[in-house]
């Protein structure tokens, strides 16, 4: 099984699009998408310096356009699974058929502009927390009023929040962990981005998505989403929700992904997959950064892609908490039990009383991701439900 990955913000490099503009029709394609995104994508991808392409309003549509432009030179009909990191989810959704390329680029332009505007409202930022015990890292973030914005797996977490809280974290890091400040505009994927989520929702409401033609994973919980309308809603919610790339990689392992192709600017996600999926789960990886890499990418797709255009359609969902509180799983449900759509599988106990947690699909309860009396946050994965269509 082959997965095609679309990278997120921070993967861009000056001039990375230059070789792609040599392909027939590429320059014209970028001019059209530039009109939709409201930025000059060709200039940003070829001549702009590091500071210019660090601008959130410019970077987000640039990354989505780059992934889609490269994918046009690939036999995507043989690709089984797509996933993207943060804004890369828009590219992945287009490659899966949920959005048109034009809709994806337009939404990336709105998302970038509105997130940049939200960043300007108050001083916030992000810091990478490398290694350390997960429980001690979580406690340190909570102590300083910070949020786990990106859970990238392989010992990498990105904390986000107020600038003074990040300074305190750097001065008092968790035992065994290293804190590295990131050069970003603000606290992405946290409550500070609420104005951007609202603005993006207003634009997304005018789009008519379609159901994905291949497996499409969601950053929200690593689930394979089979409904286009649901995926569009998740794309909007992701502006203020943590990126659970660790769960996306776990799903890839669960589904038996044997080949991974990262679209340009490639390297970041390939590195995370290489560190997280080892041993028997280690897939073959190709990083696509220039047209010179296309033969290797096409060969990977030919060897790991769909057989005769068909793969088992696997539905995979993660149940998440709808509110903050303490989790209380149903004592009568054990891993391996069959659950039905709408079945109550537990409760989140809040100060206002218990809130039901229900299954969104029928299948097997393959794994509890939270346990009795665990504190949980809104959007936190609680249980994994899987099966075949």
Look at domain 124-181 and name its CATH class: alpha beta
* Nearest Cα residue to 304 out of 259, 337, 255, 349: 259
**Residues recognised as catalytic:** 86, 189
Domains 2-119+191-311 and 315-388 share a fold: no
pLDDT of the chain, 389 residues: tens digit per residue: 999 999 999 899 999 999 999 998 899 999 999 999 999 999 999 999 999 999 999 999 999 999 999 999 999 988 999 999 999 999 999 999 999 999 999 999 999 999 999 999 999 999 999 998 989 999 999 999 999 999 998 788 999 999 999 999 999 999 999 999 998 899 999 999 999 999 999 999 999 999 999 999 999 999 899 899 999 999 999 999 999 999 999 999 989 899 999 999 999 999 999 999 988 879 999 999 999 999 999 999 999 987 544 444 455 567 877 778 899 999 999 988 888 877 899 999 988 888 888 887 677 888 898 899 999 887 678 888 875 43
Structure tokens at 59: 């970077």
Architecture field, domain 2-119+191-311: 3-Layer(aba) Sandwich (3.40)
- In a 3-state reduction of DSSP, which class is residue 33? helix
Edge to edge, the sheet with strand 147-153 lists 147-153, 156-162, 124-130, 178-181
Cβ pair 210, 98 in contact under 8 A: yes
Edge to edge, the sheet with strand 284-287 lists 215-216, 81-84, 2-6, 259-262, 284-287
pTM: 0.79
Give the domain ranges of the chain.
2-119+191-311, 124-181, 315-388
In degrees, to the nearest 5, what angle opens at C-alpha 333 toward C-alphas 244 and 139?
40
What is the fold of 315-388?
OB fold (Dihydrolipoamide Acetyltransferase, E2P) (2.40.50)
């Amino acid at each position: 099984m082959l997965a095609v990955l679309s990278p997120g913000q921070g993967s861009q490099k000056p001039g990375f699009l230059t070789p792609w503009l040599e392909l027939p029709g590429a320059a014209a394609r970028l001019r059209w998408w530039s009109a939709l995104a409201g930025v000059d994508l060709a200039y940003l991808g070829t001549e702009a310096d590091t500071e210019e392409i660090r601008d959130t309003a410019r970077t987000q549509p640039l990354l989505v356009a780059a992934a889609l432009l490269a994918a046009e030179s690939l036999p995507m009909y043989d690709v089984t699974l797509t996933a993207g990191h943060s804004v890369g989810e828009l590219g992945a959704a287009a490659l899966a058929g949920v959005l048109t390329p034009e809709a994806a680029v337009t939404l990336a332009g709105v998302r970038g502009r509105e997130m940049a505007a939200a960043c300007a409202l108050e001083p916030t930022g992000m810091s990478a927390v490398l290694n350390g015990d997960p429980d001690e890292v979580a406690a340190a973030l909570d102590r300083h009023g910070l949020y786990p914005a990106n859970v990238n797996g392989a010992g990498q977490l990105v904390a986000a929040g107020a600038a003074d809280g990040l300074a305190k974290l750097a001065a008092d890091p968790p035992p065994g962990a290293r804190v590295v400040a990131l050069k970003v505009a603000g606290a992405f994927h946290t409550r500070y981005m609420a104005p951007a989520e609202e603005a993006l929702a207003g634009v997304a409401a005018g789009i008519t998505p379609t159901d994905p033609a291949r497996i499409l994973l969601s950053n929200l919980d690593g689930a394979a989403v089979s409904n286009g309308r649901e995926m569009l809603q998740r794309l909007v919610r992701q502006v203020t929700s943590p990126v659970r790339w660790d769960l996306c990689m776990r799903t890839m392992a669960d589904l038996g992904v044997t080949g991974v192709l990262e679209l340009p600017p490639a390297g970041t996600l390939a590195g995370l997959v290489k560190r997280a999926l080892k041993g028997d789960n280690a897939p073959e990886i190709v990083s696509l950064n220039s047209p010179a890499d296309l033969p290797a990418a096409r060969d990977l797709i030919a060897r790991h892609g769909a057989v005769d255009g068909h793969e088992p359609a696997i539905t995979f969902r993660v149940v998440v908490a709808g509110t903050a509180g303490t989790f209380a799983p149903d004592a009568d449900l054990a891993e391996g039990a069959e659950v039905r759509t709408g079945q109550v599988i537990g409760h989140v106990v809040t100060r206002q009383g218990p809130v039901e947690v229900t299954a969104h699909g029928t299948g097997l309860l393959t794994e509890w991701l939270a346990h009795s009396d665990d504190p949980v946050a809104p959007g936190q994965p609680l249980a994994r439900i899987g099966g075949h269509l």
